[in-house]
């Protein structure tokens, strides 16, 4: 078995008496899509925060690409190749789609203490940004201000930005959130096409998307992982049905 790219080892985080992350351990292997599902309030957002570096865990370790990144700030983890997308779209609204991706490429190329050249006339940079946009079907939208893109286009731009950073692992925080049926289907296709190229930790609410994409699924309930397994195993797991899928069925 290949070495996992991301390993969470016994992560704990509490807000007062409330244990939002309770001894969570899981791993993601190279090229794999590992999905984390769970009902509202299960602690998915807090978990993402700890993996990306926005929040510090109370205890436990995070290993990424062979090294301990528990103490690294978010930007250092991003540089190491751990890239996240945001549940609530976090793009730069006053920049064009191209400028959003170009800035990510710029970050990957090292420091940006370069004052002399006009970056908007950097043909090589723009060409690579356009290629990144094209990969997600945004090639006609390159000159549009990101703030005026449609919701689905913004979700796609989020992905294009993360991919431009040269990720080894994509940490996807509910990429389907707020998209319509058609857009969800399109995003599923996009992610399926990327499968194998990057490892992905997919935190998602949309069950059909999760079962369509994931190699493995972990179920998070009240801050604890109650089960991990293949989609089939999870579907048949009694504990999961009771804690989670049952609730969906009732609703």
Residue 90 touches another protein, criterion: CB under 8 A: yes
Q: Any alpha helices (H) in the chain, and if so which ranges?
A: 44-52, 74-80, 97-108, 123-135, 151-164, 181-194, 207-213, 231-236, 238-240, 246-250
Number of residues lying near another protein (CB under 8 A): 41
Q: What is the rounded CA–CA span in Å between residue 172 and residue 151? A: 16
Q: What is the rounded CA–CA span in Å between residue 48 and residue 77? A: 13
Nearest CA-CA partner of 202 in 71, 47, 64 = 47
Give the range of 21-29, 108-116, 133-141, 229-237 binding another protein by CB under 8 A. Answer: 108-116
Binding mask 169-208 for another protein (x = CB under 8 A): ----------------------------------------
CA angle 173, 75, 124 (to 5 degrees): 95
Please give the residues from 17 up to 76 whose contact with another protein meets the rule CB under 8 A.
Answer: 52, 54, 73-76
Q: What is the rounded CA–CA span in Å between residue 158 and residue 126? A: 17
For another protein, the binding residue among 64, 86, 198, 244 (CB under 8 A) is 86
Residue 95 touches another protein, criterion: CB under 8 A: yes
For another protein, the binding residue among 6, 69, 103, 240 (CB under 8 A) is 103
Residue 140 touches another protein, criterion: CB under 8 A: no
Residue 108 touches another protein, criterion: CB under 8 A: yes
Closer Cβ to another protein, 114 or 192, answer by number: 114
Closer Cβ to another protein, 3 or 109, answer by number: 109
- Residues in contact with 110: Cβ distance below 8 Å, sequence separation at least 6, in sequence order: none
Residue 16 touches another protein, criterion: CB under 8 A: no
Rg (CA), the chain: 19
Q: What is the rounded CA–CA span in Å between residue 242 and residue 220? A: 13
What residue ranges bind another protein (CB under 8 A)?
A: 52, 54, 73-76, 78-79, 83-84, 86, 90-96, 99, 102-104, 106-108, 112-120, 122, 145, 147, 161-162, 164-165
């Amino acid at each position: 078995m290949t070495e996992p790219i991301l390993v969470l080892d016994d992560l704990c985080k509490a807000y007062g008496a409330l244990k939002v992350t309770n001894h969570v351990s899981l791993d993601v292997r190279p090229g794999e899509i590992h999905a984390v599902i769970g009902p509202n309030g299960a602690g998915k957002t807090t978990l993402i925060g700890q993996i990306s570096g926005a929040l510090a865990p109370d205890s436990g370790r995070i290993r990424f690409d062979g090294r301990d990144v528990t103490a690294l700030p978010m930007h250092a983890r991003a540089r190491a190749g751990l890239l996240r997308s945001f549940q609530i779209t976090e793009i730069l609204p006053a920049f064009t789609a191209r400028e959003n991706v170009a800035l990510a490429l710029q970050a990957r190329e090292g420091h940006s203490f370069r004052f002399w050249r006009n970056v908007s006339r950097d043909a090589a940079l723009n060409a690579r940004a356009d290629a990144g946009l094209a990969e997600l079907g945004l090639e006609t939208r390159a000159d549009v201000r990101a703030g005026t893109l449609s919701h689905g286009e913004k979700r796609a731009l989020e992905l294009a930005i993360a991919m431009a950073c040269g990720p080894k692992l994509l940490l996807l925080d509910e990429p389907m959130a707020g998209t319509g049926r058609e857009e969800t289907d399109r995003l599923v296709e996009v992610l399926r096409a990327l499968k194998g190229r990057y490892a992905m930790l997919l935190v998602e609410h949309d069950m059909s998307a999760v079962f369509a994409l994931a190699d493995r699924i972990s179920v998070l309930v009240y801050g604890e992982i109650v089960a991990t397994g293949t989609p089939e195993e999870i579907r048949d797991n009694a504990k999961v049905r009771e804690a989670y899928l049952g609730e969906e069925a009732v609703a």
